[in-house]
Amino acid sequence: MRPGEGSAHMRVLIAHNRYQFAGGEEAVVRDEIELLRGMGHEVAEYTRDNKELPDMGALSAGAQALWSRRTVSEVGAMLGSFRPDILHVHNTFPLISPSIFWSGQTGSHSPAVVQTLHNFRLVCIEPLLMRGGEVCEQCVGKVPWRGVVHRCYRQSLAQSLVAAGALQLHRGLGTYRSRVHRFIALTDFAKEKFVSAGFEARKVIVKPNFVAPDPGPAYRGPRSRGIFVGRLSREKGLEVLAGAVASSKLPPVDVVGAGPDQDRLQLHPTLRLLGWKPPEAVRDLIRHASYLVIPSICYEGLPRALLEAYALGVPVIASRLGPLCELVKDGDTGLLFEPGSIADLARRLSWAEQHPEQIRHMGESARKLYLRSYTPEQNYKRLLSIYGEAAHEARRTCEAASGDAPRPR
């Protein structure tokens, strides 16, 4: 598809609160911006960075998480000067805050608003829906008081209280109900969770992430060992992977990434920690691997590493948990195992090593699935369709607005 083909020229304002540890979400935002610009659309960016937090006082950071006057002012000014057709919001926590959705109230231009739901932060203060190392859905669709009692956000009572307060404040103001025209869920599983929490089903549209550029035909040379790519933290299940590799007496698995558990994981001889790598180096490592392992014990969003593996013709061995059940076709594009089970993962890893020809065929199926569902061209069409729906909704529901944006009492 050539730039601008099949769509009118649009102005899009992308808003994203960057994390202290860059991950797949950051790459998704970057790729989407480049895709839109490459197709001839004007894109402006509004960003805040969590690296600002160490220099802020706790009260200031907490206040901004509830309602950021800075966001309302700065984004309001951008709406007036850039005049976007679409305001596309990614992460807002904590510095941008959901007050961004009220920015148009103070300016002369109100665009259609879209938000991508990268995790479950809008239904629970713990964005992975976990407590005590296990999946927990007790707060989905409810007042998240249990999350405060159990200190679910970073094991901090104060931070959990702020996260819960922000969630309830904007539920009460109707921010997500009235100010966002379309939500993007990454999987059918995620959409189901948000709808069960009270989101309007018609407003939640499924659009997966994508991989760009297409790395081309699958590598035909020799492959060796498995690989893990992602954040080195407890919910990723690396302890399970280490135990499974040890019990099956297989060569160490390459582990690419950084995170809070890095020092502890170095104690496992079955994991070969390679640290953070730039995107091209990561692709090269996946390209030469026999399979990618995703041993998560949490609900994933849509792991970028999975899409990279499929694009490169590499199958995936993943937990039979949440959206991974729909993303990995067991016996076709990879293998599934019981989440948290060292023994079951060991069986799958041993089978993969003993059946290289079947694993190669699974990789070919994975590549075909990428070409059907996860290319930039397909993603662009879906994104423009969602923008069109949001714009129609905005026009249909537009009412004359005056005065200042509502402020929390």
Model pLDDT, residue 346:
98
Q: What would the pLDDT profile of 132-159 be if each residue is shown by its tens digit? A: 889 999 999 999 999 999 999 999 999 9
- Between 9 and 272, name the one with better pLDDT: 272
pLDDT of residue 392: 94
Give the sign of the dihedral formed by CA 333, CA 336, CA 342, CA 348: negative
Query: Helices 304-311 and 356-373 meet at what angle, rounded to 10?
Result: 110
Look at 60-64, 120-124, 210-214 and tell me which has the smallest mean pLDDT.
210-214
Report CA-CA distances (Å) from 68 to 31, 103, 321: 27, 10, 36
Rounded to whole angstroms, the maximal C-alpha distance in the chain is: 69
pLDDT score recorded for residue 176: 96
- Residue 63's alpha-carbon distances to 49, 102, 147, 170, 276, in angstroms, are 16, 16, 19, 14, 33
Contact 339, 319 (CB under 8 A): yes
Q: Which has the closest alpha carbon to 307: 234, 378, 356, 241? A: 378
CA distance 270 to 251: 7
Q: What is the pLDDT of residue 406?
A: 56
- Locate 36 and state its tokens: 């839109």
Q: What is the pLDDT of residue 401?
A: 43
pLDDT at 398 exceeding the cut of 80: no
Confidence band, pLDDT 50/70/90 cuts, at residue 1: very low
Residue 223 φ then ψ, to 5°: -120, 155
pLDDT above 90 for 110: no
For residue 135, the surrounding DSSP H or E stretch is: strand 134-135
Q: What tens digit of pLDDT does each residue of 332-343 get?
A: 999 999 999 999
From the CB of residue 2, how many other CB atoms can be counted at a distance below 10 Å? 7
pLDDT of residue 266: 93
Average pLDDT, rounded, for the chain: 92
Q: What is the pLDDT of residues 293-327, one digit of tens each?
A: 999 999 999 999 999 999 999 999 999 999 999 99
Q: Identify the pLDDT of residue 400.
A: 39
Which of 7-11, 24-28, 103-107, 208-212 is most confident?
A: 208-212
Sorting pLDDT into bands at 50, 70 and 90, what band is 387?
A: very high
Over residues 34-54, mean pLDDT = 95
Note the pLDDT of residue 318.
98
Q: Which domains does the chain possess? A: 11-210+376-397 (3.40.50.2000), 226-373 (3.40.50.2000)
How far is the C-alpha of 231 from the C-alpha of 24, rounded, in Å?
Answer: 9
- Please say if the pLDDT value at position 6 is more than 80: no
If you average pLDDT over residues 118-139, what whole number do you get?
A: 94
Report the C-alpha gap between 164 and 185 in whole angstroms.
Answer: 22
Q: Is the pLDDT of residue 281 over 90?
A: yes
Share of the chain above pLDDT 70, in %: 94
- pLDDT, residue 199, reads 97
Q: What is the mean pLDDT of residues 159-164?
A: 95
